[in-house]
Chains A and B, each alone.
Chain A
Amino acid sequence: MATTTSAPPPSWGQRLTEQGLPIAVVLLFTMALWYALTVYLNAPGAIERVLEPKGPWTWQDLVAATMTVQRPVLPAPHQVALDLYSSLVDWPVTSPRNLLFHVAVTGESTLVGFVMGTLLGLVLSVCIVHSRTLDKALLPWIVASQSIPVLAIAPIVLVILGTMGFSGVAPKAVIAMYLCFFPVTVAMVQGLRSPQVIETEMMHTYAATRWQALWMLRLPAALPFLFPALRVGIAAGLVGAMVAELPTGAQAGLGARLLTGSYYGQTVQIWSALVMSAFVGLALTAAMGAIEALVLGKRRQL
């Protein structure tokens, strides 16, 4: 029997020092390391292209030059932040120069793929737990599908879907789905099998049908397994959607932004797209966590 003696919730000040401080320390350390790497990696280029032609230079000149040089090997954090900020503020949301435009494009295929992948995962897992034959027949293929790198399969899928007349969101969503369905399937197979013998037998004594047992026992019992898989799945779907944008020479999307950045050696642009996609991934997983808290909040195991 669970007893719940919870201490009073900590004040904001306490939470700031208890949770904020470690995060701040790690952030500071990362920033220091990033700046050090910026100087170290950009120094040869800066000396060769900026400082040597102008004559004698001091180390202060060198540090300044590593952070202003054109097409740096590694842009400094503040350069990335400024580029990100200017793309969000200086351009309308409908402009391809605004990163939110690309977030919307990639986000659409991610979400469509995520929904399709989750549904596919649910259907597959229900089939697998209800049929020994399907369990034996499907599971090896599902596992095998994930050992193929998405980079290899993406162009094939895009070409095939293209000849079938699908273009735009659909092919990208399919790649996102391809990465999403796997964690959902595996977690749901485990979750649907998680009810104890006693619970299954109880449903049996009530003469419940298979569907009633699925709906009233197996599915609710599987929910705690589903949500972590959804968090993994939506992040994987984002990667899938971005990868799918690479081989199409797509004009829009975070993946396309990465590609054009690397075509033209715009490292700052690449980095701001990367940082933006990390933020999108964080936001999507956090949204899943919020839904989980909403759905499972009242539940507690005995």
Chain B
Amino acid sequence: MTAPPAPSPASVPAVEVRKASLIYNPHQAPVHALADIDLTIAPGEFVSLIGPSGCGKTTLLRVIADLEHITSGTVQVNGVSPHEARLARAYGYVFQAPALFAWRTVLGNVKLPLQIQGKSAAQCDAIAREQLERVGLSGFENKYPWQLSGGMQQRASIARALSFEPRILMMDEPFGALDEITRDRLNEQLQQLWQRERRTVVFVTHSIAEAVYLSTRIVVMSPRPGRIVRVIDSTLPDERHLGLRDSPEFMDMAHQVREALADGHHD
């Protein structure tokens, strides 16, 4: 239960998007939410999607998660369609808001996906406790969501998304609503989590610092139509700490991302 997920064969990408387009309202006033997206994410990568609002970064994540459907092109997750991947519980999804159920304790909330999968009560309990420990929420099992701070709530929601050990973790601006100090700490913890487990992460953000600090690869997107302007491989070492953010390499990466965002804007 607790071991990191077995790495899939290198030949099968975690996510593969080919010529994907999504057009809302195709008949009257069509909106090109996504245009000709090509993106391959290998198992174990930490990929950030960054761009101004309306660039389709969240839409792209939702397409991969089978929450929205492309109008042309193909999307594969672990070698199968997003729909099949969802039914196979291939990914855990962390939303912008914690979305914890007010009527369940923190422990009960983390148990939710396990109960849906039909695990035994004892298994649910043991796994959920361990997951809470991993995000540093031991001792808060029997608290209700309203008794937790915003940062702790989002940590609980991450524990919930990871509770069934999905191979892929998808996060949609998970720290967007938090203050900067909390956000920094959670970024550090998420980095350490990824270091330990090397799970594939697809991370949507509009913060350059967050994207550079966390990612092995940064996908810069631009709006109208939503498209990928540049994909930047991180030159930063795998082992990261917050102090790295003042280093010249970090500044250089951030500069590249900013340039790419500006290019997308001028097109």
Interfacial residues, chain A to chain B (CB-CB below 8 A) = 1-2, 196, 198-199, 201-208, 212, 216-217, 220-221, 223, 298-302
Question: Is B67's CB under 8 angstroms from A201's CB?
Answer: yes
Q: Contacts A202-B95, A205-B93, A299-B144 given: A216-B149 contact, CB under 8 Å? A: no
Q: Contacts A207-B89, A220-B101 given: A1-B146 contact, CB under 8 Å? A: yes
Question: Is A201's CB under 8 angstroms from B89's CB?
Answer: no
Question: Is A198's CB under 8 angstroms from B99's CB?
Answer: yes
- Residues of B within 8 Å of A207, CB to CB, are 86-87, 89, 116
Contact digits for B101-139, partner A, Cβ 8 Å, 1 yes 0 no: 111100000001101110000000000000000000000
- Residues of B within 8 Å of A298, CB to CB, are 144
- Residues of A within 8 Å of B146, CB to CB, are 1-2, 300-302
How many whole Å from A50's CB to the nearest CB in chain B? 65
18 chain-A/chain-B pairs, Cβ below 8 angstroms:
A1-B146, A2-B146, A198-B99, A201-B67, A201-B95, A203-B116, A205-B92, A205-B93, A206-B89, A207-B86, A207-B87, A216-B101, A216-B115, A220-B104, A223-B103, A299-B144, A300-B144, A301-B146
B51 interfacial by beta-carbon distance below 8 Å? no
B65 interfacial by beta-carbon distance below 8 Å? yes
- Residues of B within 8 Å of A2, CB to CB, are 146
List 4 A-B pairs, minimum CB-CB distance, nearest first.
A205-B93, A206-B113, A300-B146, A220-B103
Q: What separation, in Å, do the CA atoms of A206 and B117 have in the docked complex?
A: 8
Q: What separation, in Å, do the CA atoms of A197 and B197 have in the docked complex?
A: 31
B91 interfacial by beta-carbon distance below 8 Å? yes
Q: What separation, in Å, do the CA atoms of A201 and B101 have in the docked complex?
A: 13
- Residues of A within 8 Å of B102, CB to CB, are 299-302
- Residues of A within 8 Å of B115, CB to CB, are 216
Q: What separation, in Å, do the CA atoms of A204 and B89 have in the docked complex?
A: 11
How many whole Å from B162's CB to the nearest CB in chain A? 13
Q: Contacts A1-B150, A198-B97 given: A212-B116 contact, CB under 8 Å? A: yes
- Closest residue on chain B to residue A200 by CB atoms: B99
- Residues of B within 8 Å of A217, CB to CB, are 101
How many whole Å from B15's CB to the nearest CB in chain A? 15
- Residues of A within 8 Å of B144, CB to CB, are 298-300
- Residues of B within 8 Å of A204, CB to CB, are 66-67, 86
- Residues of B within 8 Å of A300, CB to CB, are 102, 144, 146
B145 interfacial by beta-carbon distance below 8 Å? yes
- Which residues of chain B in 160-191 are interfacial with respect to chain A, using CB atoms and an 8 Å cutoff? none
Question: Among the listed B67, B95, B116, B150, which residue makes an inter-chain contact with A206, where contact means beta carbons less than 8 Å apart?
Answer: B116
Q: What separation, in Å, do the CA atoms of A2 and B67 have in the docked complex?
A: 31
- Residues of B within 8 Å of A202, CB to CB, are 93, 95, 99
- Residues of A within 8 Å of B112, CB to CB, are 206, 216
